Amino acid sequence: MDHCSTSDLISLEQALDNMLSLLSPLQQTESITLTAAAGRITATPVISPIDVPPFDNAAMDGYAVRIAELPANAPLPVSGKAFAGVAFNGEWSANSCIRIMTGAPIPAGADAVIMQEQAEVNEQGVRFNAVVHAGQHIRLAGEDIRQGAEVLPAGVMLGATQLPLLASLGVAKVQVIRKLKVAIFSTGDELQPIGQPLQPDQIYDTNRFAVHLMLSQLGCEVIDLGIIRDTPNALRAAFQQADSQADVVISSGGVSVGEADYTQQILDELGQVNFGKLAIKPGKPFAFGKLSKAWFCGLPGNPVSAVLTFYQLVQPLLAKLAGHSGWHLPPRLTARALTPLKKTPGRLDFQRGVFSSNAQGELEVSTTGHQGSHVFSSYSQGNCFIVLERERGSVAVGERVKIEPFNALLRS
Ligand code: AMP
Ligand code: MG
């Protein structure tokens, strides 16, 4: 139960700004092959080593012609052929044309390609039924990309739209920022790893599984330190080990005020960590700071809150550290509420919802149901957050609300 006033809670934007202002991207880079580069971030701009296309070539199957030779109505004999990968290198006699296929190099002297649909072939040659413009159906060398041009800036994530582009330039290796190393563990005497039978008063460890998965999706190297018991010695040892091995340490549980929560005490010994109370729901308690070497994020224990704070706070933080400069969450959209939404003013609420577009193309959203911070199924049933402003109260059917579609981390 929340008994404290909400005015001393820090807003999500403020917390995020504070955190991001402290971080700078990793500096170490490595050169890797294109086939291993999916999901990696460019460390330097990529410069094209060639013109694309590399030579003038035909955009259509048809005939390469010299426009000045096009007779009023007489057929032109065919002097030779040019195929993709096999140029015409013969003697191009005067007053003739060259059969040419898409992608074939344009024979020297040709100034247009006439598509075969506009050609009539007989024994004397080819008669063209077309108005011909200089340069038509010719793709010029360098028309797409010039040699020496920047094709990608630094800080871009390499994926299905960037890597084939680099392949088209013959770029075999790319300089990327090294992977982030993230150490994770869950705290709690009640936690049991999956695969073990549950004792009475135990629950399965959801958070480590969720965080591990999301980190893998973000391209991080994960060091999984397991479940740590709520004793000062176990916690201290886990934090020290994590700090020595990783760029970022992420724990869950033990960041709220509770009897077994030694985390704060240990972290005061090991580094500079701020235990914040955020004006968001779910996810009020969240710790952030620096250990002796690594950054530290302490997620709340409740799985719904742990995933929300990871998604809204840790994800942007990791993107900045990883050097992913263009990273952002999907933009918030406006939708009409199809179900009532319960809310008390005081915190920015991230309810889980299902949105779709109706027959008129307008967005509509329904709640996934119970919004308790232990109801993890609300994520698997939803496809967006319904983001309700801090001072807003409950929402009636028909009211407009902001929604934030899940990104790939939460999308099924
Ligand atoms: P805590 O923040 O440690 O006080 O935990 C808050 C609530 O979240 C308690 O009900 C815990 O049992 C639960 N919890 C903590 N860690 C986990 C976890 N890794 N997986 C599932 N539930 C957890
Ligand atoms: Mg705990």
| Over residues 172-180, mean pLDDT | 98
Q: Which domains does the chain have, with CATH numbers?
A: 12-23+179-321 (3.40.980.10), 29-50+148-177 (3.90.105.10), 57-139 (2.170.190.11), 333-405 (2.40.340.10)
3-state secondary structure 329-340: CCCCEEEEECCC
Residue whose structure tokens are 């999706």: 217
pLDDT above 70 covers what percent of the chain?
98
Which ligand 1 atom is the nearest neighbour of the CA of 230? 3
CB 309, CB 286: distance < 8 Å = yes
- Ligand nearest to the backbone CA of 201: 1
Residue type, 55: F
194's CB contacts (< 8 A; 6+ apart) are 204, 205, 209
Angle between helical axes of 232-245 and 263-270 (0-180°, round to 10): 50
pLDDT greater than 80 at residue 57: yes
Which ligand 1 atom is the nearest neighbour of the CA of 256? 2
For the Cβ of 252 lying below 6 angstroms from any atom of ligand 1, the answer is yes
CA of 354 to the centre of ligand 2 (A): 31
CA of 306 to the centre of ligand 2 (A): 12
What is the tens place of the pLDDT at every residue in 198-212? 999 999 999 999 999
CA distance 149 to 49: 8
- Confidence at residue 264, expressed as pLDDT on a 0 to 100 scale: 82
pLDDT greater than 70 at residue 3: no
| Over residues 364-379, mean pLDDT | 91
Instruction: Tell me how far CA of residue 292 lies from CA of 142, 186, 249, 295, in angstroms.
Output: 52, 20, 11, 9
Which residue's alpha carbon is nearest to atom 23 within ligand 1?
301
- Ligand nearest to the backbone CA of 251: 1
Across the chain, mean pLDDT equals 94
| Over residues 230-243, mean pLDDT | 95
Ligand 2 being an ion, which residues bring their Cβ within 5 A of it? 188, 253-254, 301
CA of 188 to the centre of ligand 2 (A): 4
What secondary structure does DSSP assign to 329-372, as a single string? Answer: PPPPEEEEESS-B---TTSEEEEEEEEEE-TTS-EEEEE-S---
272's CB contacts (< 8 A; 6+ apart) are 289, 290
CA distance 407 to 193: 27
What is the tens place of the pLDDT at every residue in 69-105? 997 678 999 999 999 999 999 999 999 999 999 999 9
What secondary structure does DSSP assign to 19-66, as a single string? Answer: HHHH------EEEEEGGG-TT-BBSS-EE-SS-BSSS-EESSSEEEE-
pLDDT above 90 covers what percent of the chain?
89
CA distance 385 to 405: 6
CA of 200 to the centre of ligand 1 (A): 16
For the Cβ of 303 lying below 6 angstroms from any atom of ligand 1, the answer is yes
CA of 282 to the centre of ligand 1 (A): 13
- Ligand nearest to the backbone CA of 188: 2
What is the tens place of the pLDDT at every residue in 291-321? 999 999 999 999 999 999 999 999 999 999 9
- Confidence at residue 2, expressed as pLDDT on a 0 to 100 scale: 45
Q: Where does residue 402 fall: left (phi above 0), alpha (psi -120 to 50 degrees), or beta otherwise?
A: beta
pLDDT greater than 70 at residue 341: yes
CA of 253 to the centre of ligand 1 (A): 5
- Ligand nearest to the backbone CA of 373: 1
- Confidence at residue 261, expressed as pLDDT on a 0 to 100 scale: 67
Confidence of residue 412 (pLDDT cuts 50, 70, 90): confident
- Confidence at residue 327, expressed as pLDDT on a 0 to 100 scale: 96
Report CA torsion sign: 238, 222, 404, 15. positive
Q: Ligand 1: which of 214, 252, 373 to mutate, judged by most atoms within 8 Å of the beta carbon? A: 252
Which residue's alpha carbon is nearest to atom 16 within ligand 1?
301
For the Cβ of 312 lying below 6 angstroms from any atom of ligand 1, the answer is no
pLDDT greater than 80 at residue 218: yes
CA of 7 to the centre of ligand 2 (A): 26
Query: Distance between terminal CA atoms of the chain?
Result: 32
Q: Could you tell me which residues are beta bridge partners of residue 32?
A: 174
Listed residue (345, 341, 335) closest to 384, CA to CA: 335
